[in-house]
Structure 1
Amino acid sequence: MLYDTLRATASALGKVVYRPTIEGVENIPPSGPVILAGNHLSFSDSVVIPLAVPRRVRFLAKAAYFEGPGVKGRLSRFTFTALGAVPVRRGSSREALDALELGLRALKDGEAFAIYPEGTRSRDGRLYRGRTGVAHLAMESGAPVVPFALSGTERIQPIGARIPRVAEITIRFGTPMVFGPDHYGGRKPGPARRAITDEIMAAIQRLSGQEEAGVYNAYPGRDDA
């Protein structure tokens, strides 16, 4: 109830202020498990997506957003919790596996789960190579993958900016992609996950039009979502 109320209010306000262009939202199944996989340009992406999608969306967010002190910390914790975020710590392989397990649990519960295969936001606007966790989720859950592309969110809150700005944004959702356990049959799990991830990233690139970096994006400092 809290999520529905907050989403409806914030979505209406956001559409008045930002007048976003939203394309292909009909590609998102109205119920059942679905993985939303997209590019990552800004801290604000994790606010924009839950407000643009007409159903509850779960996503991963840094544990720091839930642990801050004072009024600001409480407001951050309330906002991210209400939007459907799941707190995770980032760094070790064990923590990465724990994050994937949280995502798989959400999918098995029939929820929509959003993920940024690049791992962290792009600081130069290019699309970085996808990490294979998205393929693991797709193969283990059998859930369809709906690729999406954001543009303009990097102007809402540029790196280093504390106050959001008004900017035109576009959100495009692509055709659902389905990858079962037998997809790319005959390949070992590792190569299969790599091939599936590359296929998903190619779909994201077609939607976004971004230049491909061809390498993995490094995890910089604490200011990344």
Structure 2
Amino acid sequence: MVRELKQSRFLYYLVKGLFRGALSLYFKIRVRGLDGRSLPTPLIVASNHCSHLDPPLVGSFFPGELCYLAKEELFQNPFMGWMLTHLGACPVRREDAQGAGGVMRLMLKILRDGRSLLIFPEGTRSLDGRLKPLEEGVAFLSLKANVPILPVFVRGTFEAFPKGAKMPRRGSITLNFGEIITPEPFVDANGNGKEARGKLLSTLEESLRGLGRDL
């Protein structure tokens, strides 16, 4: 069973500040596409995924509050588990992720409760740093909850901390935020949900690839 997220606003911003400070000391971080923007809430933030660094990076530098799901193994260290929990992470067991139903229900509940959600639509980390085909769950959530998507492409985390690495290497990391994708234009008046999800997913993938080419 997936555990429901319990989040303290005070601890969220405390831990977010600690993560942001530590990451900024270790890496040279640049954030593009957020200056002067007013972002709606709730919002789905959809990012490429190359490293365990991606969730705390996006969560720390996104201006508002974000929730996200993370593998239960990441919470095995009590201190790291405490930090991740108060940064908005909710642990998910491997069998829950395979079943998917409980995970989707939890994410829908988060959005319907008015909270924003960080999603990695590739489903798992890239093994070569390139964007993998997107899974349609992000499009389903956007259409079902009527919540817009904010794409973000993260460059540099694959080089800093790829899958299998023991420790992150110092380097430059850029977070490139794109234009918001609203679900309304993709709603099919004839009720063809699969076609609507496919068109929305293609638009998101094109946006992420474009953001990556800009870096």
Q: TM-score, normalised by structure 2?
A: 0.86
1:177 aligns with 2:186: no
Please, which of 97, 114, 120 is the counterpart of residue 116 of structure 1? Answer: 120
Change (3 A) 1:78 1:104: same
8 A Cα contact 1:145 1:176, kept in partner:
yes
Please, which of 91, 101, 104 is the counterpart of residue 87 of structure 1? Answer: 91
Please, which of 45, 59, 64 is the counterpart of residue 73 of structure 2? Answer: 64
Aligned residue pairs total 205
Letter in 1 for 2:149: V
Specify the SS of the correspondent of 2:209: helix
- The corresponding residue for 2:27 is 18
Specify the SS of the correspondent of 1:20: strand
Which deviations, in whole Å up to 9, do the C-alpha atoms of 1:127-172 show, x marking residues without a partner?
A: 1111110011100111110011000011221222222221100101
Letter in 2 for 1:170: T
The Cα of 1:19 is off from its aligned counterpart by: 2.5
Letter in 2 for 1:133: G
**Which structure 2 segments of 5+ residues have no match?**
1-9
8 A Cα contact 2:127 2:162, kept in partner:
no
Please, which of 49, 55, 67 is the counterpart of residue 40 of structure 1? Answer: 49
Which consecutive aligned stretches of 4+ in structure 1 deviate over 4 angstroms post-superposition?
Answer: 26-31, 91-94
- The corresponding residue for 2:201 is 197
Deviates more, 1:143-152 or 1:186-195: 186-195
Determine the C-alpha separation between the residues in 2 that align with 1:174 and 1:181. Answer: 18
Determine the C-alpha separation between the residues in 1 that align with 2:176 and 2:149. Answer: 14
Deviates more, 1:53-62 or 1:12-21: 12-21
Determine the C-alpha separation between the residues in 1 that align with 2:68 and 2:36. Answer: 19
- The corresponding residue for 2:17 is 8
8 A Cα contact 1:37 1:117, kept in partner:
yes
Identical aligned residues as a percent:
30
Specify the SS of the correspondent of 2:100: helix
Specify the SS of the correspondent of 2:168: coil
**Which structure 1 segments of 5+ residues have no match?**
211-225
The Cα of 1:85 is off from its aligned counterpart by: 0.6
Change (3 A) 1:207 1:182: closer
Q: TM-score, normalised by structure 1?
A: 0.83
8 A Cα contact 2:96 2:103, kept in partner:
no
Determine the C-alpha separation between the residues in 1 that align with 2:171 and 2:140. Answer: 35
- The corresponding residue for 2:134 is 130
The Cα of 1:103 is off from its aligned counterpart by: 1.4
